Structure 1
Amino acid sequence: MDDLPQWALPKLASPQVELRRRADGATILANALPLGSYPRCLGDLLVANAAARPDQVFLGERTAGPHSPWQTVTWAQALTRVRSLAQALIDLGAGPERPLLLLSGNSIAHALLTLAAMHVGIPAVPVSVAYSLVSRDFAKLELISQQITPGVVFVEQRKPFIPALEAAGLAALPLICGDASPGSPADPGPRARTVERYESLLSLAPSDEVDRRFAQLGPDTIAKVLFTSGSTGLPKGVLNTQRMLCSNQAALARVWPFLGEDAARGRVPVICDWLPWNHTFGANFNFNLILMHGGSLWIDAGKPGPGAFEATLANLRERSPTLYFNVPRGFELLVPELEADAELRERFFANLDLVFYAAAALPQRLWTRLEQLAIAARGQRLLMVSAWGSTETAPCSTAVYWPIERAGVIGNPMPGTEIALIDNGDKQELRVRGPNVTPGYWRDAQLSDAAFDEFGFYRIGDAGKLADPTRPELGLEFDGRVSEDFKLSSGTWVHAGKLRLQAIAACEPLVEDCVLAGHDRAELGLLLFPNLAACRELAGLDRAATAQQVVSHELVRAAVSRALAAHNRQHPSSSTRFARAILLADPPSIDANEITDKGYINQRAVLSHRATLVESLFSDDRDALTVGTVDCS
């Protein structure tokens, strides 16, 4: 790597950590940088930005397709509208125990209603759009509704959400929507409800009650309830307090000081982002970063999926980000476009300070290609970083803020946050304590108590290790989920997270994800979710070919067989060698909790939901399987 050009680095803090041993043998890591002070609430940031940069664009979106004009809201306009919307929520009966439930995806209306709710102490509860528009039984939405008992519901468009509203018991609640006609009556049905047009609420005059409630906000005020994505179980309502959200952004500003210094000189952060606000990454990291530093957020209606990524490309051609955030699947689609389109490449890298990946390790091949693209576009290497945390940690527990050469490093503890490394089998379990950590779960004292150990550390369930035990300042490496690892019948441990990534890499681009099977068995098996587009191309099939036809095609099965056989030659031990595999024709099911809307696979749920298939996979009667079996020898 020494022959590569130097990095173009923004100003970063120097990585320094403090390490101590607890009496019980645990290792405690903390950042040497003090956290310092942080804002009282996110609303104070909105007020400050409206005063400091009233005419600057805060939010922008396209409402009529990927090539339509941008609709924008300035900081001053945002504050005015937030106060009016706060009055509307009070009038409609929302309150600290009757939250605002947001069912639609990212939009200016969604953002301002969220800020309005938080402005007067009403928890905002954004919910995955998939629970309303993709789910078939609406079970998750009904569960959330019963837990939250919302006071007001928001949807961008009413008609698509009517089945979900009815099924989840939300039909009688006041509804705010973008497409209601002025003065429209309540929806017909067995129960009447108030229907308010979003635009009509923007002209309300805020009363003194809005100011009184805003003045009462404090660090312990619940700002949001974010439901976990269900990657390890059913969704849980995580309390997000103002202290969590504000301290986390203050900690990030300490390790990325260029954000504050650039903003003071008038170069504010610019983000073009699709990541959903029902997830902590998009909502608490990205959105709150813009609040913290007075930047501009261009809402990307695209996402890394079939038929939707074109919108992302159209937006990036017009809005050059200073910071770019995505998940590995997003980079998988973006990198070939950057390689093929010089104009897009120039626009993308023109103002970029860093690239941030999260949700999973970025494959090294993508890392290398991104680095080469940056060098071609700007003559210097680009800083690529990551972080680690969860919905319960607002979201960052660690962050990378120095140049790293490869994916997998998750950084040092954030200022003010402590990380405990506790021996757990042949791994080290990570636990977290700090002002960014949730006090617990919405109306569930038992679950809240169980989430913390006797020292007050949150049990996040992940494993990690020092990248270099002799130099702890070089950060931690992610080492999988403690609960996902299992033993073969021989007693040998299988490190599922690491092996899953190896399987995907071995089969790329034919496999999107996979689940390992083999608990208490003699050998390992694989359930493979295919990349149908790549498999169709390999087999010469058109888009009309069914998933069954794709996974049973001889060329597809042969290619995957060769890939797994090559992996096995390099990893011959029983805990790393795949003895049996099958390509699945049925995609992971959100209703069965097998996958989240952001693409996380729930290994436990897949194995449980497809238990009969797993038994067939390990059966000596190979005729028990239908299509998609793969020879791994």
Structure 2
Amino acid sequence: MAGKAPPQPAVDVEHREDDSLILHCPLPLGPVAQSLCHLFDEVTARGPDAAFMKQRDDDGQWRSITYGEAQRAANGLAQWLIDEGIGFGDCVAYLSEPSIEHGIAAIGIQRCGAAIAPVSPAYSLSSVDHAQLRQCVSSINAKVAIVDDADRFGPALHSISDLGIRIIARQGALDGLDIARWNDVIATQPGPEVAVRMAKIAPNDLARIIYTSGSTGSPKATPQSHANLTITIAQCEALNLLDFGGERPQLLEAMPFSHIMAGNFNFNNVIAAGGTIWIDDGKPTPALIGKTIRNLQDVSPHYAISVPLGLSMLCDAFEADAELNRKFFANLKFIGFGGALLAPSVKSRLESLSVQARGEAVPIYSFYGATEYLFGTLKYWTGGSSDTIGLPLPAIDLKLVPLGDRFEMRVKGPTLMPQSGYLGSPEASVELFDEEGFYGTGDAVRFADPDDPSAGLIFAGRLSEDFKLASGTYVQVEALRQNLLNACRDVLAEAVICGLNQEYPTALVWLKGADKEAAKSALTELIPKFNAAQGGSARQIGALFIQDAPPSFDAGEVTVKGNVAQRVVRERRSADIQAMYEGLDRPALLHFGPGGQRNGRS
């Protein structure tokens, strides 16, 4: 793959009298654009006929829009919004999945000075009461909401109809609701006011709203300025991640635009590089991964970022199809992952597959970030273990506060949300920042090599998920969960670690298959072996309670990212947790006791 390679890892470390550390990236940031829509216009001027986005239509064929066509549509949308009285500080919600229309809206809304607020489609389509949807749109006082299909989103649109929101839809109609047609909206003739609004855009003006995933409570509206978005682009350019040797990068995008990786990192950076976003109608699930595989028959991506589960599924497909494997790796500059730790076995498989496809291992980078500060660290070099989350990006400072054998990590920099905090949730914004303005991530880290800080940081768990046993020993929940799932990978789909103030940890678990008796038999063999290989009671599992009822989305047990919220599950299923420690005999319970050996109870 042509293009410059990333620089060597570099970090400056300041040691303070209170034993805390300040980590700073010494690499220069480089030029920062006025806004994403200004950058879009610069790219369009250089190649108006280049493909901006592609998406399959109802017949399965790829429909496409060029940069020039998207610019004209975005200008029409901006003028329509101006005519509706939308301006600086106002927010427009987008309720549907990634689409060509969603991409146009992201550019057009910002052109009139307003901010786009992508809302997870799950709040509209997977919810029954739509309480989280109402909270999302009311917390930002949304003036307009856009959907691709009004019929499909009918119940959701009716649930917010009393909030005085103007609705735009590409297709569909609903009784009792006045819906503006997308094609009519973007056909609006733009006047000079659009250019006037764009010229007035300032770095700290609101550009985008991204909602927190809900893993630590209800989703909260995180404001992101134009500078937040454009500085992220400058950070990637400083690391040479956007240098594709003059080629226009192609990206197959399966993640929702309501998430920072797709909605900020991928969307913004592909525009900066003048590339094409191919909307993937597949997902990293057994039911939908086949669509992703079909789409990869048509596009050879220049980079690929996914969750570890998605990369594991791709490995399965590539190992079964050498031609697909060759096509995937043909133009690939790097693979990225985030959201969870990448199993060493998956990393090894990806490296082996890339060697088979092109004779060399493609770099695998780790991304670590959050809605509140976008990206804090990035592992942009090869080598090291798969649990390394990298070093601070250019212009980002990390504060590491000693916490036993770990550090609590805090972040500060120009991509951090304002200290005023979440929109519409002042109570949730209290104590987000320390006295120096560092944001508390709630995560713990260690140095990959204590003698060499440039080797990067290792993720060491979520502090809010960790708890103490009755002995006072801390249980590092994420590490124990990952180890348990890896040891029982053929049996367990998910686990919630329990044991606050108890003698030993236990787990509520969900199975991969429907055969509960076969699973119990396998776990009876696996758990004692697992426990015997662990050191200390805080790393062992004393009981498992197999759950029949799946985690509830409406109850907050599942976040919009699809992750199980450990704290919420523990609160809602406290009776099952109590049963594990009371030694009750239930068909779905497996007891192993404090020593980790099977004790004979069912």
Q: TM-score with structure 2 length normalisation?
A: 0.95
- Matching residue's letter, 1:106: P
Q: Which moved more, 1:85-94 or 1:369-378?
A: 85-94
Structure-1 separation of matches of 2:235 and 2:180: 39
Q: Which moved more, 1:362-371 or 1:436-445?
A: 436-445
Structure-2 separation of matches of 1:498 and 1:356: 21
Matches within 5 A, 1:374-523: 374-393=354-373, 395-439=374-418, 440-523=421-504
**How far does the alpha carbon of each residue in 1:345-378 deviate from its partner, in whole angstroms, 9 at most, with x for none?**
1111111111101100111111111111111111
2:148 is aligned to: 156
- Matching residue's letter, 1:297: I
- Matching residue's letter, 1:163: P
1:101 is aligned to: 93
Residues 400 and 409, structure 1, Cα contact 8 Å, conserved in 2: yes
Residues 514 and 528, structure 1, Cα contact 8 Å, conserved in 2: yes
Q: Among residues 336, 353, 370, which one is paired with 1:356 in the alignment?
A: 336
Q: How far off is 1:205 after superposition?
A: 0.7
Q: Which moved more, 1:482-491 or 1:165-174?
A: 165-174
2:159 is aligned to: 167
SS of match in other structure, 2:216:
coil
2:107 is aligned to: 115
- Matching residue's letter, 2:20: A
Structure-2 separation of matches of 1:169 and 1:203: 25
1:584 is aligned to: 547
- Matching residue's letter, 2:19: G
Q: Which moved more, 1:494-503 or 1:580-589?
A: 580-589
Residues 91 and 114, structure 2, Cα contact 8 Å, conserved in 1: yes
1:54 is aligned to: 48
Structure-2 separation of matches of 1:298 and 1:170: 36
Residues 59 and 299, structure 1, Cα contact 8 Å, conserved in 2: yes
Residues 53 and 276, structure 2, Cα contact 8 Å, conserved in 1: yes
Matched, 1:241 2:225: yes
Q: Among residues 179, 191, 201, which one is paired with 2:171 in the alignment?
A: 179
**How far does the alpha carbon of each residue in 1:107-156 deviate from its partner, in whole angstroms, 9 at most, with x for none?**
00011112111122211111111111111221111221221221111111
2:12 is aligned to: 18
Any gaps of 5 or more consecutive residues in structure 2?
Answer: none
Q: Among residues 128, 131, 139, which one is paired with 2:131 in the alignment?
A: 139
2:570 is aligned to: 607
2:522 is aligned to: 559
- Matching residue's letter, 2:132: K
**How far does the alpha carbon of each residue in 1:210-265 deviate from its partner, in whole angstroms, 9 at most, with x for none?**
1111111111011111110012222111011111111111011111x2523x3xx5
Residues 89 and 113, structure 2, Cα contact 8 Å, conserved in 1: no
1:124 is aligned to: 116
Structure-2 separation of matches of 1:485 and 1:107: 38
Residues 165 and 171, structure 1, Cα contact 8 Å, conserved in 2: no
**How far does the alpha carbon of each residue in 1:409-453 deviate from its partner, in whole angstroms, 9 at most, with x for none?**
111110000001001344210000100111121134454352110
Give me the CA root mean square deviation.
1.8
Distance 1:9 1:565, change over 3 A: farther
Q: How far off is 1:607 after superposition?
A: 0.3
Residues 94 and 150, structure 1, Cα contact 8 Å, conserved in 2: no
1:40 is aligned to: 34
SS of match in other structure, 2:583:
coil
SS of match in other structure, 1:386:
strand
Structure-1 separation of matches of 2:2 and 2:146: 43
Residues 8 and 383, structure 1, Cα contact 8 Å, conserved in 2: no
Structure-2 separation of matches of 1:346 and 1:607: 45
Identity of aligned residues (%): 33
SS of match in other structure, 1:578:
coil
Matched, 1:91 2:83: yes
Structure-2 separation of matches of 1:382 and 1:97: 43
Residues 333 and 363, structure 2, Cα contact 8 Å, conserved in 1: yes
- Matching residue's letter, 2:389: I
**How far does the alpha carbon of each residue in 1:530-558 deviate from its partner, in whole angstroms, 9 at most, with x for none?**
22xxx24xxxxxxxxxxxxx3xx321111
Structure-1 separation of matches of 2:526 and 2:562: 23
How many residue pairs are counted as aligned between the two chains? 592
Structure-1 separation of matches of 2:508 and 2:4: 43
Matched, 1:270 2:233: no
Structure-1 separation of matches of 2:464 and 2:417: 21
Residues 16 and 473, structure 1, Cα contact 8 Å, conserved in 2: yes
Residues 104 and 129, structure 1, Cα contact 8 Å, conserved in 2: yes
1:198 is aligned to: 182
Distance 1:90 1:285, change over 3 A: same
Distance 1:557 1:626, change over 3 A: closer
Residues 385 and 401, structure 1, Cα contact 8 Å, conserved in 2: yes
**How far does the alpha carbon of each residue in 1:305-351 deviate from its partner, in whole angstroms, 9 at most, with x for none?**
24221111111111000101100111122111110011211111111
- Matching residue's letter, 1:501: Q
**How far does the alpha carbon of each residue in 1:584-630 deviate from its partner, in whole angstroms, 9 at most, with x for none?**
111111111111232222110000111111111222222xx343646
- Matching residue's letter, 1:571: Q
Residues 489 and 519, structure 1, Cα contact 8 Å, conserved in 2: yes
1:80 is aligned to: 72
Residues 511 and 519, structure 2, Cα contact 8 Å, conserved in 1: no
Q: How far off is 1:170 after superposition?
A: 5.2
SS of match in other structure, 1:160:
coil
Structure-2 separation of matches of 1:463 and 1:339: 36
Matches within 5 A, 1:215-226: 215-226=199-210
Q: Which moved more, 1:165-174 or 1:205-214?
A: 165-174
Matched, 1:337 2:317: yes
SS of match in other structure, 1:392:
coil
**How far does the alpha carbon of each residue in 1:16-59 deviate from its partner, in whole angstroms, 9 at most, with x for none?**
11110234321000011122331111111100010011111111
Q: Among residues 270, 273, 279, which one is paired with 2:259 in the alignment?
A: 279
Residues 463 and 482, structure 1, Cα contact 8 Å, conserved in 2: yes
Structure-2 separation of matches of 1:166 and 1:628: 43
Q: TM-score with structure 1 length normalisation?
A: 0.90
1:315 is aligned to: 295
Structure-2 separation of matches of 1:464 and 1:572: 20
Structure-1 separation of matches of 2:436 and 2:52: 41
- Matching residue's letter, 2:392: P
